[in-house]
């Protein structure tokens, strides 16, 4: 059994913004696939990723310069943000 994934409103906005950006260049579907691969991996193995800042961990996309910032509590993974590597976590 994997961990339950919960996505914040900020993370949803981040994902929609990134998908909109990649839609223009025709890479939206590839971005979606990469995101889902990372979510599946995260659901099964959230503790494989080191703590980055104040109990916030991150997993990097394999083909895009994005990372998923998350925390783990009990049996749930809370995705806080999905940021481009040039963006700062606030």
| CA–CA distance, 23 with 56 (Å, rounded to integer) | 29
**Per residue in 15-34, pLDDT tens?**
999 999 899 989 999 999 99
**Per-residue pLDDT at 85:** 81
Shortest CA distance to 34 belongs to which of 80, 79, 67, 73? 67
Residue 89 located in a structural domain: no
87 has pLDDT over 60: no
pLDDT bin (cut points 50, 70, 90) of residue 90 is low
User: Is 50 domain-assigned?
Assistant: yes
Report the distance separating Cα 3 and Cα 27, nearest Å. Answer: 29
User: Is there a domain that residue 31 lies in?
Assistant: yes
Which domain range does residue 24 map to?
4-84
Residue 60's Cβ-count burial label (10 Å; 0-12, 13-18, 19+) is: middle
CATH number at residue 57: 3.30.2310.20
CA atoms lying within 13 Å on the CB side of residue 15: 20
Q: How many domains does the chain have?
A: 1
Residue 8 lies in a domain: yes
In a domain, 21, yes or no: yes
**Does any domain span residue 56?**
yes
Residue-wise pLDDT tens digits, 30-64 = 999 999 999 999 999 999 998 988 999 999 999 89
């Amino acid at each position: 059994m994997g961990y339950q994934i919960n996505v914040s409103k900020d993370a949803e906005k981040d994902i929609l913004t990134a998908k909109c950006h990649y839609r223009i260049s025709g890479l939206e579907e590839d971005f979606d696939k990469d995101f889902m691969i990372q979510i599946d991996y995260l659901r099964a193995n959230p503790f494989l990723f080191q703590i980055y800042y104040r109990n916030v961990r991150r997993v990097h996309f394999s083909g895009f310069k994005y990372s998923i910032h998350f925390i783990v509590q009990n049996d749930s993974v809370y995705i806080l943000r999905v940021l481009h590597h040039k963006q700062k976590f606030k």
